[in-house]
């Protein structure tokens, strides 16, 4: 992980967002909604700009922040996004409607572990972004990676989990269990011979996996 001073310096270089995106960031901050950290999402968007995907699957909509950031950055892309929390799903519906992106961002409500059949109707995907229940990362990856095109990319957020993955000394038993699952996922992912994977120590840790 980067030092707090260096991370703050990098964040200070990121141009401030305005309009609806700034409003969403403020809502997330005030209401404890997890959205991708600034350096993390800017890195992801740059990777996607290089790749130029036409079809993206997002596992974990939350309030629609990442989906809208991807839609703005990639005018040619269609995004399928999954969310199980009803309140956040409704908020995302409103934000996406206000952005006029209903035709490009297709929302599906429900548990991502149970939505493969519905998602398959929109496959294959050029890129997949996983940012949902961290204890289920491997299951999400297993389910949806089969709908990724050869050469496609899977981006997974929060894989360093506040730096706890390398010392696993969290006070809470629940957090220790979650950290253990993330660590096991990271080790499985980086050893997976079907993908070339790198873990970037930015934001809360971003894994970038390219399908061979």
Distance CA 14, CA 107 (A): 29
Q: Is 31 annotated as a binding residue?
A: no
Residue in 73, 71, 132 with CA at minimum distance from that of residue 98: 71
Q: Distances in Å between the alpha carbon of 62 and those of 9, 24, 82, 150, 185? A: 27, 11, 9, 28, 22
Q: Is 196 annotated as a binding residue?
A: no
Q: Is 192 annotated as a binding residue?
A: no
Q: Is 111 annotated as a binding residue?
A: yes
Q: Is 186 annotated as a binding residue?
A: no
Q: Is 12 annotated as a binding residue?
A: no
Q: At what angle do helices 19-31 and 86-98 cross, to 10 degrees?
A: 160
Q: Is 158 annotated as a binding residue?
A: yes
Q: Is 204 annotated as a binding residue?
A: no
Q: List, as residue ranges, the binding site.
A: 36, 66, 83, 111-112, 131, 157-158
Sequence ranges of the binding site for Mg(2+): 131, 157-158
Residue numbers in the known binding site for S-adenosyl-L-methionine are 36, 66, 83, 111-112, 131
């Amino acid at each position: 992980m980067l030092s707090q001073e260096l991370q703050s310096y990098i964040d200070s270089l990121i141009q401030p967002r305005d309009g609806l995106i700034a409003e969403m960031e403020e809502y997330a901050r005030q209401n404890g909604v997890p959205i991708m950290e600034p350096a993390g999402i800017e890195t992801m968007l740059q990777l996607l700009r290089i790749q130029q995907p036409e079809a993206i699957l997002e596992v974990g909509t939350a309030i629609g922040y990442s989906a809208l950031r991807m839609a703005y950055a990639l005018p040619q892309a269609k995004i399928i996004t999954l969310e199980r929390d009803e309140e956040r799903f409704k908020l995302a519906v409103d934000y996406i409607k206000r952005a006029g992106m209903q035709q490009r961002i297709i929302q599906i409500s429900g548990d991502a572990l149970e939505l493969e059949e519905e998602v398959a109707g929109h496959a294959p995907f050029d890129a997949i972004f996983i940012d949902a229940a961290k204890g289920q990362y491997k299951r999400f990856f297993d389910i949806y990676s089969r709908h990724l095109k050869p050469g496609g990319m899977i981006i997974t957020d929060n894989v360093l989990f506040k730096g706890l993955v390398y010392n696993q000394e969290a006070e809470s038993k629940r957090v220790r269990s979650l950290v253990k699952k993330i660590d096991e996922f990271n080790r499985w992912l980086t050893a997976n011979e079907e993908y070339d994977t790198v873990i970037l120590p930015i934001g809360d840790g971003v894994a970038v996996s390219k399908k061979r």
